[in-house]
Structure 1
């Protein structure tokens, strides 16, 4: 788990086909000076993300100092200073930078970037590849590739040499990586299947005034700041939630590589992105002949394997433990593997107790689950360390948590997760296992229920306890409950007549839940300066046309809902603010067994009615039913019977307290109007409405969002937004 920052100049055909070399010392000196400048830029960029890899830093700028010639064409890009007379030269060799968190192979031989000088391949990796011992052994046999370390990351070069761009299908884990093939002049950037690891990119002027461009790729956007990037609000992305539902971010011109995609740039030219993997589901008309017990055992077997693979490291490994079933079953399976199969937890001995970490809120808040986690830890016989998060502690960490997340969040749960990641760091741990992804794969959220009920599960009719009459009745109740919930939080959602976006997605209503909270605080000029902004349409357009065909003709609506959620909220909120960014802020690598793609491919192929299952005895639906049954040997009866409670932080706080003071200091007229796109008249009373015994949860959410924008504006130096491109500093 590390951080990367890479730079690639973008040239046109005239540059790519020139093989001439500089003819005098003056040109070589200019190139040398530019290389020094690039070296300093890369150092500064890596310093911005040093929290991702505090153990070492490495970089590579092509040693051959490859140069190409261009003459008299003003629009050609250049990475060198302009020479006053004669032909001009540009160094187009890419620069790869890496900060390292040492997990596998702690020796200097595992430091990155990795190279294969014989083949001209160079690579940097952020994340983990699992089952790499087996992959490495196979490659050594089939290719005779000579590895130089025991690091999992090094397999990327050998895989690329053997399989070309098909190397992506052999990667198992959470990762973002960049590879440069200098012989073929191919630049490749890859993001893991679910977007667990972040990877951003942008194109900027090269700074030499000749119209030149360069491609920047990094693990976090803040890494672009020392490279000359000047952040500018993307107001349309803010208004239509594109930052959450497609490849955009909060800032103009900065995009995310999609999960399960790779980006290529061939010969310093055209940049394009292509998928290498995608979530898929079975045809809803195909009968599944398996018994429920077969499916339960299939999930249990694959879960244990996913957990086992993630216990390999050269450092100790802990577990995040909350009061929910997801983290608890992971803790239970780790304990089982240690006790029953003598598996080591990282570098820890099997005789050592498994260590679990948790965060606790005030007991009277209604959001504290630490007592349940404590009972689970006692039942498992594991060591349990928790940190109390009161209002003062949340307020103290808010601004730093926003800086690391690089986006807003209408809940303080991300600050709680930020604080949680301090706990293993303080205990000397670098790696934890975590339960993210279970709800998205196994239908754990209440928002999915109407879409599960929208059509019968004909694929598993023989084993489904839900009758057709009961389905119709429960559908009406579920939709009414959803509408009531949206009304209670003041959200304009739950309207069954939304129109085209829902028709594009076979009328699934989960998109209502995904857009239930939209901050209505924008300045009036944004209504006329931007095209119509419809978050529902953004969600509907995010899947490609082939996928929408499956959604409308082949997939059960529950599976369509799971797909849409997994392409928006999962990578862009839950794996960001509640995942990588708050964990890596404290140099903690989190591993997510529920998002092991071999496990998820099996789960995706299960019938809807074993994910959400009707209990005739209890007269209610059991979410993640197949997981509960598969987990039964590893969790307490209390957890087996407990209903889903989404992880959240308290929403009501008193006036005069730490958060009240923090919000009051951030939401001043000067700071809010300095954003440019927020109307002060819509924000002026938020702090008063949000705090106190009768405080409004909606006002609190709005206050947190605008306060986060203020923090980002100050720390990133974001320009004030103005209509018609009129930007002020």
Structure 2
């Protein structure tokens, strides 16, 4: 896991009478080389937290390509693992960030099939060998793991940049000299820059400028966009090919796919559960390989607990080492505690899981003062805003393993995105029958499904309002043509797509906090249209004709929120801020492809009420994961499963992530097996005049807000007061106002630290 910084002259074409391999011998401009080295080392210093163990720079003899790398040594701790890397012929040069799993097998294949001579034992070197063997993009399809890379082939003069399938590892690019620091004009003298974080562009000469339209329309979190003009992301599952004459080509090598919704599933439930169990165990096992100690993030949820339980199984029953630790060493787990007075704390159930497994639990306590202290540094490392404090909790948590000598941590990230864990996915599941499971009791007719769907929509709306996110989610259609032109009014959209991506596409600014001149631009219809337009024509056709609405909803979420938010603000950026490599087993692409190909009804599993269970068309209690016909889901006194008056809620009739729950059952406690989904979240209610409000008041002055330019000061000023609770019960806080303040404060921090020029609004 590392940081990279790359400078490429856009026009690298050799004279007509000189071959690409020969021009390398013709340049002796040592002053230009020293200047480029100086710039690259300064760039690497900005992201030294990503790789504190070593730095390296390589400049090609023409001074037209410079590769910089800072190393966090995980595999092969010797100097042989220091980058930039070069193939055994000396023609392929690369910098790589991330981990390539199953590298021992891939290494053996390259040695046996093409006689490749490896310099060391770093997994990153395997990527270079695979490129030598297969070329682009085929070499990427053989790589299993999380990675971003830039590779230069001096035989052809081509530069290849690529990112892993899900966007776990970051990679940004921009072009010098164009408006806002970017563009695509291969004029003489222009440079193409790549970096693991945008702050690494600053020493190269980049001047940050807001992309106001992208911020207002929320397109900064779609596709290749960012909040800065001219700065782009390499998209997940894509690679860039840069020719010697400066032409840039973007191609996709991997995409999410789901089965035809009319196809009947032929596998039994038991077969599918076993397949998921085997692939999950394999994914965890591969991620335990390292030359340094490996730990686990453990919360009170199913996902991280399953990782911990499987790890215990592999270590104690199969003799698998956790990195450089001995099989006899206790497994180390790490958890954040928000305090019982804050709510949202899962440390107690995490401790019970740790006690059950017999693992070590290390806990960090987060107070309100801690959130206030770490907020600005978290924004700086994330390089984007967010509407809650979850990221600050993860940023603080990542300090703990590093302080205790751990460099690698396994996490449960990605399970909700693969197995449909969030509460809003249930609404899309109920939009349409699951024809792949004709014997499922929910699929016998539309009446029950439609009634349940209406209850789910109402529940989701109420829950989002309580969490303060209702203004940050595009509204579900209600059959009325809203005066703001909401999604329902776009009849063409409804006809073409036929599902509800707005339910799963959080925004990072509501209209009220933006400058009044921007509000006509960022209607819900325009934002929804932007989401849909970001998908490929093939994906839109699949959504319209082929995929079940649940799978379409998963696709929408995984193309936007997964890479642009989740894997950033509670993933790589918080972990690498403290030189920690996070490894998410649930985003192993072999596992993801398996689960994507399974029916919606094994992800969201309907369990009829007990009085209906006896006539379930042949489905037994065992098939639904129940023992002896009893289930804790049906306790009417359970606060999670009733509405306060003893009546069961609609959500108590479904098991989210059912197939993962069944696959993980041998490795988790019965408490976790039966527990409802609790998304990781920090508190949303805070007292007036406490450390958090004081911090926000310091940041959100009229001068600071006006210096950003596109925010509305009166709305921010009001939110700064209403977002916090008074001492009496009569003065409650507005969680939406708090989220508005956190977003605005994030833009203030970015404006100050990136030295962004003020936007002048008309």
Shared fold (TM-score greater than 0.5)?
yes
Alignment pair present for 1:493 and 2:475: yes
Task: Work out which of the residue numbers 32, 35, 58 in structure 2 matches 1:34.
Answer: 32
Alignment pair present for 1:660 and 2:693: yes
Counterpart of 2:751?
Answer: 713
- The verdict on how the C-alpha distance between 1:461 and 1:16 changes in structure 2, with shifts beyond 3 A counting, is farther
Q: Is the 8 A contact 1:501 1:537 kept in 2?
A: no
Counterpart of 1:80?
Answer: none
Aligned partner of residue 439 in structure 2, secondary structure: helix
Task: Work out which of the residue numbers 115, 119, 136 in structure 1 matches 2:86.
Answer: 115
Q: Is the 8 A contact 2:385 2:508 kept in 1?
A: no
Counterpart of 2:666?
Answer: 633
Which whole-Å CA distance do the structure 2 matches of 1:500 and 1:515 have between them?
A: 22
Counterpart of 1:357?
Answer: 334
CA-CA distance at 1:238 after TM superposition: 0.7
Matches within 5 A, 1:237-256: 237-256=214-233
Which whole-Å CA distance do the structure 2 matches of 1:304 and 1:427 have between them?
A: 26
Which whole-Å CA distance do the structure 2 matches of 1:608 and 1:210 have between them?
A: 50
Which whole-Å CA distance do the structure 2 matches of 1:479 and 1:16 have between them?
A: 64
Alignment pair present for 1:539 and 2:531: yes
Aligned partner of residue 567 in structure 1, secondary structure: helix
Which whole-Å CA distance do the structure 1 matches of 2:690 and 2:428 have between them?
A: 42
Which whole-Å CA distance do the structure 1 matches of 2:552 and 2:96 have between them?
A: 32
CA-CA distance at 1:243 after TM superposition: 1.6
Q: Is the 8 A contact 1:501 1:536 kept in 2?
A: no
Q: TM-score, normalised by structure 2?
A: 0.87
Task: Work out which of the residue numbers 464, 468, 481 in structure 1 matches 2:459.
Answer: 481
Q: Is the 8 A contact 2:720 2:738 kept in 1?
A: yes
Which whole-Å CA distance do the structure 1 matches of 2:371 and 2:496 have between them?
A: 39
Which whole-Å CA distance do the structure 1 matches of 2:317 and 2:209 have between them?
A: 55
Which whole-Å CA distance do the structure 2 matches of 1:268 and 1:218 have between them?
A: 21
Structure 1, residues 567-615: CA drift from partner, whole Å, max 9, x if none? Answer: 1000000000000000000000000100000001000011000000111
CA-CA distance at 1:440 after TM superposition: 0.5
Q: Is the 8 A contact 1:181 1:187 kept in 2?
A: yes
Alignment pair present for 1:314 and 2:296: no
Counterpart of 2:505?
Answer: 514
Q: Is the 8 A contact 1:501 1:540 kept in 2?
A: no
Which whole-Å CA distance do the structure 2 matches of 1:113 and 1:455 have between them?
A: 51
Matches within 5 A, 1:548-627: 548-616=540-608, 617=610, 618=634, 620-627=653-660
Aligned partner of residue 558 in structure 2, secondary structure: helix
Aligned partner of residue 594 in structure 1, secondary structure: helix
Task: Work out which of the residue numbers 706, 724, 745 in structure 2 matches 1:673.
Answer: 706
Counterpart of 2:315?
Answer: 338
Q: Which deviates the most, 433-442 or 108-117?
A: 108-117
Structure 1, residues 18-41: CA drift from partner, whole Å, max 9, x if none? Answer: 6399xxxxx977x32221111110
Which whole-Å CA distance do the structure 1 matches of 2:521 and 2:425 have between them?
A: 36
- The verdict on how the C-alpha distance between 1:297 and 1:242 changes in structure 2, with shifts beyond 3 A counting, is same
Task: Work out which of the residue numbers 502, 526, 543 in structure 1 matches 2:518.
Answer: 526
Counterpart of 1:45?
Answer: 43
CA-CA distance at 1:104 after TM superposition: 0.3
Which whole-Å CA distance do the structure 1 matches of 2:759 and 2:507 have between them?
A: 25
Gaps of 5+ in 2: 21-25, 479-487, 611-633, 635-651, 727-731
Alignment pair present for 1:276 and 2:249: no
Gaps of 5+ in 1: 22-26, 67-90, 725-729
Aligned partner of residue 297 in structure 1, secondary structure: helix
Q: Is the 8 A contact 1:466 1:614 kept in 2?
A: no
Counterpart of 1:79?
Answer: none
Counterpart of 2:620?
Answer: none
Matches within 5 A, 1:345-424: 345-424=322-401
Which whole-Å CA distance do the structure 1 matches of 2:132 and 2:73 have between them?
A: 25
Alignment pair present for 1:459 and 2:436: yes
Counterpart of 2:18?
Answer: 19
Aligned partner of residue 106 in structure 1, secondary structure: coil
Q: TM-score, normalised by structure 1?
A: 0.91
Structure 1, residues 294-341: CA drift from partner, whole Å, max 9, x if none? Answer: 111110000000000000000010000000000000000000101110
Q: Is the 8 A contact 2:476 2:503 kept in 1?
A: yes
Counterpart of 1:692?
Answer: 725
Q: Is the 8 A contact 2:508 2:743 kept in 1?
A: no
- The verdict on how the C-alpha distance between 1:49 and 1:501 changes in structure 2, with shifts beyond 3 A counting, is farther
